[in-house]
Amino acid sequence: MTNGTPRFELIPAVDLKGGKCVRLQEGIASRSTEYSDDPVSTALHWEAQGATRLHLVDLDGAFSGESAHLPIAKSIFRALKIPVQFGGGLRTLEQIEAVLDLGAERAIVGTAAVENPSMVGEAVKRNPGAIVAGIDARQGKVVSRGWTEKTVVSAVDLARRMKDAGIPRIIYTDVSRDGMLRGVNWEETENVCSKAGVRVIASGGVSGVEDVRKLWERRGCGIEGVILGRALYDKRIDFADLRKQVLSWKSDG
């Protein structure tokens, strides 16, 4: 992080599917809305708006287990001055290190965190600080393989395991709210953060400024940022304005 990076980060999302920027509803591949056919320009737009980090997801990779957008990802890494965290289909050590070598600052593991924790532990040893666990859940239980497979593992338990493996932060997504503009599940986000004792970036369901405020007010437990998707693309939130508001909250207390 640079000295100008705020403690609570607002992180725009660019989700890739078929080479285009889309948003899914509830993590369902068939329920997607296309927003742009130029992912690099979209990423540059959020940087220009004042973003300090970008969240880049290969949705095709998440469903297939094979990264499908590495050339686009590489172009985005090279075009931006801000750091990028990348996820989607990273299920082997080779895939993780390939993405980091291309220029991602952080690699996000989801399915591998559930199915191959020993590999994740090795990735952490080789790339300290660069591995993030993406924990996607419905009703508190983890889902994997592009959100298509339910597990009996609780989000809290998996977050604890990831902390024990040396992962410094997780991205917690309530999949049932993702892309639905129903409001962020700040209660469960806070629960995971507090019980697992790990830093958390919140994701899924942000519909307006008030959702961001609820998360910001709970940053003391370790919630360090929020990923913004559909609310930005549907213009329910103006990123530059939101950034100013968050900075004003900081100055107030």
pLDDT digits (tens, 9 = 90+) for 105-154: 999 998 899 999 999 999 999 999 999 999 999 888 898 765 567 888 99
- Write out the E strands in the chain: 9-17, 20-25, 28-36, 54-58, 84-87, 106-109, 131-138, 141-144, 149-154, 169-174, 199-203, 223-228
Contacts of 139 (CB under 8 A, 6+ apart): 176
* pTM for this entry: 0.90
Contact yes or no for 155/174 (Cβ under 8 A): no
For the record, the structure tokens of 248 come out as: 């004003």
Distances (CA, A) of 178 to 23, 27, 205, 231, 252: 9, 7, 5, 11, 30
136 carries an active-site annotation = yes
For the record, the structure tokens of 180 come out as: 């639905």
Distances (CA, A) of 104 to 39, 50, 95, 222: 16, 19, 12, 23
Q: Which of 136, 174, 178, 211 is the catalytic position?
A: 136
15 carries an active-site annotation = yes
Class of domain 9-252: alpha beta
Tokens 């993780």 correspond to: 96
**Run means of pLDDT, 10 residues per run, the chain, 253 residues:** 61 93 64 82 97 95 81 97 95 96 96 92 96 91 74 92 95 74 86 95 92 94 95 94 92 54
